[in-house]
Every structure is written in C-alpha cells, then in structure tokens.
Chains A and B, each alone.
Chain A
Amino acid sequence: MTNNSLPHVLVVDDNHDNANIIRDYLKARGYPITVAYGGEEALEIFERERPSIVLLDVMMPGRDGWEVCREMKQNPDVAHPVRVIMVTALHDWTNKRQAIQTGADDFVEKPFELAKLVETVDRNARMLSPGR
C-alpha cells in the first residue's frame, strides 16, 4: 500500500495531549488525520468526512466511546466501510464480548505503546484494501 492510498483516520480522545501525540505519530507515517476531542464532535466529523478508521478512546465525558462506536456502526455505508479501534484495556472476556457487540473491530490496550498502536492501525488499513 502506498502512502497516497493510506486511509483517513479519525482520532478521538478527550485528552488533548494523547490525541495530539497519536495525530503526530500517525501523520508522520503518512496517514491523513482528523482529531476530535469528544464524542459529539467525533460523530459530526464522522458524518462529514467519512473517515475509514476511527481510533476511539472509551472513557470520555458525555457520550463515551462505546456509544459513539455503536452509532458509527449503526448505519452501514457500503461505499465507505469504517474500522473502529477501541483505545482501552479490554481485560476480560465480558469486556471483549461487549466490544464485539458494539461493532468494534479491534482494540489497543491503554496505556498504549505507539509502535503497537501503529501496528494496529496498519493491520486495519490492510483490511480496507481491495483484494487483501
């Protein structure tokens, strides 16, 4: 996959420092990035820009990551499939089961290592490419 075809990533985290670090790190690897600092803002950007990958923090004031994920996945858009990666520690079976139920595709343990985060974004980007 060339950098030109890297999918658009929406990073959602109410912690500005975290969001900005992820943005800079992924941007340096060629991903087009948009950042949202809350659930509502994330849904607005999602509607408007149709990102292909969403990195979603779970613990946010107002609409949390689970709710946002459910909404994003609720209206399947065949032309613009979205991969949602939850940024949270899914320690046990119940957490992971819940994550699948909301429609999440992947997760990154928090606190995350940036290398692991990129690896996770990369593997989800590969799932979006035709003829993978």
Chain B
Amino acid sequence: MEHDHLLYDGVTGLPTLQAAVESMRRVIVERGELLILYFNFSRYSKIEEIYGWEKFDAVLATTAAAMRAYLHDSPLRSSRVMVRYTNDDDFVFFHIPEPGFEAANDQQITEIISGLQKHVSERIEAAHGEDIASLFDIYAGRSHVMVNPKFRLERQIYRGVRQAVLASQSVEARETVKKLEDLRESIRTRGVYVDYHPIVVAETGAIFGYEALARGVMRSMRSPEVMFEVAARGDLLWELSRICRSRAIEGMQHRFDQGELLFLNVDPGDFADPTFSPEQLDAPDPKRVVIEITERTAIKDYPKFRNRLQAFRDAGYRFAVDDAGSGYAGLGSIANLEPDFIKLDISLITCIDSNFIKQNLVETMIRFANDQGAQVIAEGVERAEELAILKELGVHLVQGFFLHPAGNSTHTPEHLPLPGPMSSGQAAPKGPDMRAMRSA
C-alpha cells in the first residue's frame, strides 16, 4: 500500500494514533469504555540536540521496545492493550478491559507508571549509558473514556488523549516547582560537584586536560541538563553558573597535574553577567583554562561579545568553540571567534567510521583548524572504530567514553569528593559519565 509508512512509525515500529483507533474501533464500542494513558518523555528533545538524530532514533526504539515489554508483562495483559507513538517524544497507551475484567484502578495505574519508569530507565541506561538515562523522565497523564454513541468515536478518543496530555502537563508543572525548590537549596548550600572528563591526545593517549561537568549533589539535580533547565526557568542561571565555575577551578587546583588544562563551559549569556570577569574567575594560571563557548546558543550582540572575550584573552585565557558544526552554519561563524580549540559536534562523531560524508566534513574542519592554528577535539568517541578513523583524519584531541570508561578513572581526578559545604552523606556519586553536556 502506497501510504503504509503513514500507519506505522519507522523508528519504533509502533502504529500511529489514527491507525490504532481504526483497528480498535470494534473492540472499544463493544466494551464501551477505554482507559488512555499518555506518556511524555520530557527531555527527549535534548538527546537529539546533544547527540544528533541517529542516537535519538536509537533511544526512541529502545524506549518503545522497553515499554512494550513492560506493558506486556504488566497486570494489564489480560486486557487488550496497545501502545501508540504519536509524536517525537510521547507515547499513548490504550487499555481496553476485556469483558469480565475491571478497568485498572488508580492505584494499579500509579504502580504501572512507577514500574514503567524504572524498567525503561534501566533499559536505556544499559543500551545508551547513564548520561542519556539521566535525561529520562516520564510525565504520565490518564483519562477514562466512556463511549457515548451520540458522539463520533474518533472525537471521543482524541478528546480523551487531550485530557490525558493536560493531566500529564499538570504533573510536570508540580514537579517543576519541586525541582526549583531543590535548585534554590543547591545554590544556597553550594551543593554542586564537578566531574572531570579527560581530553586526551589522539596519537598518544596522554592526558591533555579535563572538561568540567557540574552536577547537583541532590538526586533531582544530578543531570546538568535538568539543573540548567530549571535554573533558566527560575532565572537563576548566573547564580548557578558562578558556583559551577568556582567549583571547577577549586577542583583544578587540588587535582590537576602540572600542565593539564581545564575546559570550562560558559554560555554566551554568562558574558552579560557583570560579575563574570577575568578577575572574578581568578584562575591561578589563566593559560591553563580554556573557556568553551557553545555554537548552539545565538550570540546577540557580536561586537560587544567579542570585546568581552578579548578581556579574557588579554588575561591569558584561551577559547574553544563547542559543538562546532552542529548546525548548517559553516566555518565562518567559527572563524569569527578565533578559537584556540574547535570541539566537533557529537553528531559528527557518532558512527563516523561508516559515514563517508561525516568523514569529509571532519576532514574539512581539521584543514580549517590547521590553517587557523587551532586544535580539533572530537568528543563523544564511543568505539575503537571511531577513534581509528579520527586518528587517520588527523584529529588532534579526543574525548569520550571509549577512552576512559567507567571504573577506569584511578589516575583521573573524576568523582573525587570536593572540600566544602557538601555533607558526608551527600558524597559525589560514581558513574560512567564521560559525555559532554551542559556544565559550569
């Protein structure tokens, strides 16, 4: 059939909402009621933003498979159940009780949602690592449709889906308020610790420096993405960033070997913070600090921004353009910042060994960097094949899980507890987190 692909989602293999309604019409009418569960994966779009669509598709496929497996084994299996994928990060689940069975009650639904959250999270962590799993958060909403023959069935179902969506949004709103409270507490107590992710010389494997990734000590603030997202909502970005920067520099002084560099993420918006200055940053040796600026955030006032950069440059700090090549913009915007380091966007590195167009782009970037006197860093290296190609192409520095997997950080300063107001009961956790996301 010509439009088969419109009935099934290619990534997850799940049918679309329209196709599901059509196929279940008779069963729903016979039973006369339908329970709709709506699941929103609140931060999934971030996965695509950070890692690119290939990784995102893979995570969606894992999610759908894990959901199907869990729901199949759940107490609902005696009823007719279908899972539908509707958009990019949400799923709809229809529960049509079979004759003789009651529809699931509130308590059962709550248990199922909580079990589902745990199961899917574990599957994602096993398949894609802790960082991606840390972005995983389900907000679920439910609605109960009692079929009324006076109304068109499709409309009743779509209304039911909308009600379930609204219910999930109010759950999310409540959670957001709670997270904002957690963030305020984290800022008040300086409850932030830093993971240092090694950046190594591609050819020799020698440690060149570390990228600082700030994480909240409180469990709800563990993911840098979540922490900064909450800070943006609460207008607390500058406050949080100041703590993250100073934590990163404190740690550098205690743990880095001579000559190792600190790569510090700074959002272009932080340059508007009047207290963010070379004096305030106060690194003991500014030459060993590289300020990473993401290419993803739009810079509004370019001349002013460049002036602010210059002040840091004059003090000895160096610069890296992060996520270079993430968008369609070519090399011009990178050249404008005159970086010392160019960090390639992760989506260019994922599966680079099998994609010759990516290899061509990375080669272009390396040639450009060599002309500019900059060094190229490839981050997100997860496999030996990727590393081999990157070396062949002439990448200078590399970073990623493959180079320093979890449990192999004895010689790195990662995960060591920081001195400061962090209580002993809140020691920084260990974890296999080697991915660059959002940090200080």
- Interface residues, chain A, with chain B CB atoms under 8 Å away: 71, 74-76, 90, 92-94, 96-101, 104-107, 120, 123-124, 127
Contacts and interface: CB of A to CB of B under 8 A. Distances in A.
B62 to A, nearest CB: 13
Interface residues of B, number: 19
B357 A93 contact: no
Interface of B: 5, 10-11, 53, 325, 327-331, 347, 354-358, 360-361, 364
A94 B328 CA distance: 5
A75 B10 contact: yes
Contacts of A93: 325, 328-331, 361, 364
Contacts, number: 49
24 contacts: A74-B5, A75-B10, A76-B10, A76-B11, A90-B357, A92-B330, A93-B325, A93-B330, A93-B364, A97-B325, A97-B327, A97-B328, A98-B328, A100-B358, A101-B53, A104-B357, A105-B355, A105-B356, A105-B357, A106-B356, A107-B356, A107-B357, A120-B356, A124-B356
A98 B81 CA distance: 39
B187 to A, nearest CB: 38
A107 B424 CA distance: 56
Given A93-B329, A97-B328, A75 B5 contact: yes
Nearest to A120: B356
Contacts of A71: 5
B44 to A, nearest CB: 18
Contacts of B325: 93, 97
B357 to A, nearest CB: 5
B11 to A, nearest CB: 8
A59 B418 CA distance: 59
A97 B324 CA distance: 12
Given A75-B10, A76-B10, A99 B328 contact: no
Contacts of B347: 100
Contacts of B5: 71, 74-75
Nearest to B351: A105
A86 to B, nearest CB: 8
Contacts of B364: 93
A92 to B, nearest CB: 6
Given A90-B357, A107-B357, A107-B360, 15 more contacts: A74-B5, A75-B10, A93-B330, A93-B361, A93-B364, A96-B360, A96-B361, A97-B327, A97-B361, A99-B357, A100-B347, A100-B361, A105-B357, A106-B355, A106-B356
